[in-house]
Structure 1
Amino acid sequence: MTVKTTLSFTDRHHRFLSEKVGQGVFATQSAAVAAALEQMMQDEEERGIALSALAQEIRARMETPREAFIGQDDAFAAARATIGAARGA
């Protein structure tokens, strides 16, 4: 289903849309706006997934007993070794 609506753009945005249509990137300005909205929707979904995964990881780490914690020297030892090797140290 298609819904007709009226949108207002700044001169800069209108010029950009017109250029993209003129270059053949999009068939119409409506198609360009629809593509931008689809990208925004995908970005929002991906951000939600990432935040959910981050929250899940934080919860899991909060349940880790203190005895299982590792010190920062141990945690970053591999990274430091890799950086040192790359620097020729």
Structure 2
Amino acid sequence: MTVKTTLSFTDRHHRFLTDKVGEGVFASQSAAVAAALEQMIRDEEERAIALDAMAEEIRARMRTPHSEYVDPEGAFTAARARIGVARQG
């Protein structure tokens, strides 16, 4: 279903839309706006997926017994050594 609506744009946005339609990137200004909205929808969906994944990772880490924690000093010893060598070279 298509809904007709009225939108207002700044001069800059209007020029951009007009240029993109003139270049053949979009068939119309409406098509350009629709493409932008579709991208925003995809971005929000991807953001929600990423946030859900991070939340699940945090929950999983919170369930990790303290005895399984990694010592932060030991975890980065090799990396610190490589950085030190690189800085000397």
TM-score (norm 1): 0.86
CA distance 1:88–1:36, change in 2 (3 Å): same
SS of alignment partner, residue 13 of structure 2 = helix
Provide Cα deviations, 1:6-65, integer angstroms capped at 9, x if missing partner. 000011111111111111111100000000000000000000000000000000000111
Q: How does 1:4-83 map to 2 (within 5 A)?
A: 4-77=4-77, 79-80=79-80, 83=83
Q: Name the amino acid aligned to 1:54.
A: M
Q: Which runs of 5+ in 2 are unaligned?
A: none
- Out of 70-79 and 53-62, give the one that drifted further: 70-79
The ranges of structure 1 where at least 4 consecutive aligned residues each deviate by more than 2 angstroms after the TM superposition are: 73-85
CA distance 1:82–1:29, change in 2 (3 Å): farther
> How many angstroms does 1:72 deviate by?
1.6
TM-score (norm 2): 0.86
The percentage of aligned residue pairs carrying the same residue is 70
CA-atom RMSD in angstroms: 1.8
Q: Find the aligned partners of 1:31 and 1:82 in 2 and give their Cα distance.
A: 52
SS of alignment partner, residue 25 of structure 2 = coil
Q: Find the aligned partners of 2:83 and 2:6 in 1 and give their Cα distance.
A: 55
